[in-house]
Amino acid sequence: MTWDWQVFLNDDGSGRTYLQWMFNAWGWTLAVAGCSWLLAVSIGALMGTLRTMQASPWLVRLATVWVEFFRNIPLLVQVFLWYFVVPKMFPAFQQVPGFLLVVFALGFFTSARIAEQVRAGIQALPVGQRYAGMALGFNTVQTYRYVILPMALRIILPPLTSESMNLLKNSSVAFAVSIAELTMFAMQAQEETSRGIEVYLAVTALYALSAFAVNRVFALIEKKAQIPGFIVAGGTGGGH
């Protein structure tokens, strides 16, 4: 077997090299993952919080329906639903770019998983945290905002790191609806150049580099956000 890494310097027929095409596809991958992450964390934190509000059973049911619906349907099926079905049922979505439809699918799917992590983080806190907020005169929203969520989010940083890395890798499903991200580049470049080994190794390296960067960023956040005696970054954890 011979290697031919110079294939990336060849013209792809549109005036750009395969290397330029690959980095452009990498940009699309990061864009899909980044936008989906913002959507997933925002909605996931909200739904996870609502699931712990036992005083408002309707809010708990609403959040539960959200979580169970989006986490029990395969991601690829959700992408197809958003791309092909939703625009047919709701004509307004026919004007929405395919990029955003994929972001909705990936973001909502991941939000259900993050919601469960947030719920678990909140329920892991001792009930004294709620009482502390009440003693300070906080209402329910203020208690969550200033007391409960800052602590719970620190607890879930390790699983949130893994979920963020998974979201980056799951962005590869965007190829199924012709979003020009890394997986689609790899498939097309391999067909055009017949150098599948080089192409897929390069794409694998970019995915690994991206996931490693996400891991390191969250490790830094975990270290900066740790509370001595409560949670120990990189250790076995602390006491409550």
pLDDT block averages, 10 residues each, the chain of length 240 = 84 89 94 96 95 90 95 94 94 91 96 95 86 84 89 91 93 86 91 90 95 94 78 43
Please state the pTM of the whole predicted model: 0.88
CB of 181 within 8 A of CB of 175?
yes
57: Cα separation from own chain's centroid: 28
SS3 11: strand
Q: How far apart are CA 190 and CA 24, in angstroms?
A: 16
Q: Which amino acid is at 126?
A: P
Query: What is d(CA 200, CA 155) in angstroms, rounded to the nearest whole number?
Result: 36
Taking the CB of residue 44, how many other CB atoms lie within 10 A of it? 28
